[in-house]
Amino acid sequence: MFDKILIANRGEIALRVLRACKELGIAAVAVHSTADADAMHVRLADESVCIGPPPAKHSYLNIPALLAACEITGADAVHPGYGFLAENARFAEILAEHNVHFIGPLPEHMRLMGDKIAAKRAAKELGIPTVPGSDGAIGSDAEAHRLARDIGLPVMIKAAAGGGGRGMKVVRVENELAAALDMARAEAKAAFGDGTLYLEKYLERPRHIEIQILGDGKGHAIHLGERDCSLQRRHQKVWEEGPSPALNTAMRDEIGETVAKAMRAINYLSVGTVEFLYEDGKFNFIEMNTRIQVEHPVTEMITDIDLVVEQIRVAAGNNLALTQSEVTFHGHAIECRVNAENPVSFRPSPGRIIHYHPPGGLGVRIDSAVYHGYAIPPFYDSLVGKLIVRGKTRSECLMRLRRALDEFVVEGIDTTLPLFRALARETNIIDGDYHIHWLEEYLARGALDQ
């Protein structure tokens, strides 16, 4: 096992990793920018190192500074959290060259999944159902026209280097295809330095359902069920839950086993998430994330498995401690990402928290790094914290969520708590009857405006 882990992140995920280190008896090193000197992850770590000025480019993304921090503290492994360097294959390679372990997937798997065309081709070859579309990159406009006619309109143009919703175009009529291709190519080139495009059948109102997996890099891999992350705004997840209201046990077992089998075939190491658009009873692979995700607590609450602990164990070369039949699902969990934003305009609202009283009680978990009197800096994401609630049934979970949201006090800044108080009382949400566009349509109706 590792002796000392350097946590190359900040905020709630740095604290989350720190907790796993403590439970494993591993020393933890925090790193921080000058803006985060009084952050909770710095206070609770065994040691800390300042790695640069506030902009992430000069601190949390500063590879030489992180290497120096490993050297100074004698850390033998780095946990990247999510965001920042979490899916950077080159970072993992550089660490290896300096005899420091990267707590995450192999560089080759991060590279494969970072190329959306290669990822989709690999998924298809591994028996994972994919969205109908071009077999690889679009060669010419003529080919795109042929394909669009073949698979039928509407189609979606996507960038090979994209992901997270950037560089996508929906085409509903054929005479708009050529212009959309030109625009998408130019945008992709400007944003990613790579204008390679591919094309897919556009799915109108799917759900976003993702399968959590865990592998040990030695041919053992298991799935830990799904999370339904359909409630998003501008490609930012807002509410995640598991199990999905749209699936039953047989459906979960089938897609879960398909994904786990694929991960065994590539000797996948670490945690990972395979994302699907789910419509008309069918799963359609879109991409794979090779990191611990923001919403991982949903899975922890329904499986009782500590995903970060398991991620550290397999990174240290241990075999998977669990078999698929030892993974069981209990009850229901919902996570709300509470942001420091105005709940109507969604404008960021950094600043000092002058009153802070998080909810508690049975089945209530808060993953947050804020505290009474803490000032949220303006340089990073606007997450105040995640409220994760579990219950024996979805309806008990919703009841408990409403109760927890009503207890939650955060004063001094605007937060999205009022949005969640409204969502937890909406008929469509209570019925589990929603899709990837539901939240934006709801907000466009002005449901929350005074």
Task: Confirm if 419 and 236 have CB atoms less than 8 A apart.
Answer: no
Give min distance, CB of 335 to ligand MV4, in A.
16
Number of residues that bind ligand MV4 (CB under 6 A): 16
Q: Helices 63-73 & 89-97, crossing angle to 10 degrees?
A: 40
Kindly indicate which of the ranges 200-208, 220-228, 405-413, 423-431 contains the residues binding ligand MV4, using the contact rule CB under 6 A.
200-208
User: Per-residue x/- mask for ligand MV4, residues 207 to 246, rule CB under 6 A?
Assistant: -x-----------------------x--x-----------
Shortest spacing between CB 205 and ligand MV4, in angstroms = 9
* Burial class of residue 291 (count of CB atoms within 10 Å of its CB; 0-12, 13-18, 19+): buried
Q: Is the peptide bond before 80 cis (omega within 30 degrees of 0)?
A: no
Question: How far apart (Å, rounded) are the C-alpha atoms in residues 70 and 89?
Answer: 18
Which residue in the block uniquely carries the two structure tokens 């991620």?
A: 311
- Contact between 87 and ligand MV4 by CB under 6 A: the answer reads no
CB closer to ligand MV4 out of 112 and 315: 112
Query: Which of 76, 200, 216, 228 contacts ligand MV4 by CB under 6 A?
Result: 200
Q: How far is the CB of 134 from ligand MV4 (least distance, A)?
A: 11
Give backbone dihedrals phi and psi of 445, rounded to 5 degrees, phi first. -70, -10
Catalytic residue among 227, 291, 365, 390: 291
Shortest Å, Cβ 235 to ligand MV4: 6
Site string for ligand MV4, 173-192 (x = CB under 6 A): --------------------
Tell me the two tokens of residue 100. Answer: 């420091």
- Residue of 436, 438, 439, 442 interacting with ligand MV4 (CB under 6 A): 436
Distances (CA, A) of 311 to 11, 219, 275, 318, 380: 19, 15, 19, 10, 25
Binders of ligand MV4 in range 105-134 (CB under 6 A): 131
Interface pick for ligand MV4 out of 89, 156, 197, 423 (rule CB under 6 A): 156
Least gap, CB of 163 to ligand MV4 (angstroms): 6
What is the chain's length? 450
Minimum distance between the CB of residue 146 and ligand MV4, rounded to whole angstroms? 18
| CA 286, chain centre distance (Å) | 14
Q: How many CB atoms lie within 10 A of CB 359?
A: 18
176 Cβ neighbours under 8 A, 6+ residues apart: none
26 is a site residue for ligand MV4 (CB under 6 A): no
Member of 95, 159, 286, 292 binding ligand MV4 (CB under 6 A):
286
- Describe the crossing of helices 307-315 and 296-303 by its angle, rounded to 10 degrees: 100
Residue 285 sits in the site that holds ligand MV4 (CB under 6 A)? no
Strands 27-33, 4-7: pairing kind: parallel
Among the residue ranges 16-24, 80-88, 172-180, 195-203, the one whose residues contact ligand MV4 (CB under 6 A): 195-203
The stretch near ligand MV4 (CB under 6 A) out of 35-43, 156-164, 300-308, 405-413 is 156-164
Token representation of residue 7: 């946590």
Q: Is 111 a catalytic residue?
A: no
Half-sphere exposure of 183 (CA within 13 A, CB side): 13
Closer to ligand MV4 by Cβ: residue 148 or 315: 148
Residue 74 binds ligand MV4 (CB under 6 A): no
Beta-carbon contacts of residue 57 (< 8 Å; ≥ 6 apart): none
How far apart CA 205 and CA 105 sit, in angstroms, is 32
Taking the complex as a whole, the smallest distance from the CB of residue 84 to ligand MV4 amounts, in Å, to 19
> At a CB cut-off of 8 Å and minimum separation 6, what does 272 contact?
105, 109, 113, 212, 213, 214, 215, 263, 288, 289, 290, 291
Select 26 or 188, whichever has its Cβ closest to ligand MV4.
Answer: 188
Q: Please report whether residue 167 would count as binding ligand MV4 according to CB under 6 A.
A: no
Active site residues: 291
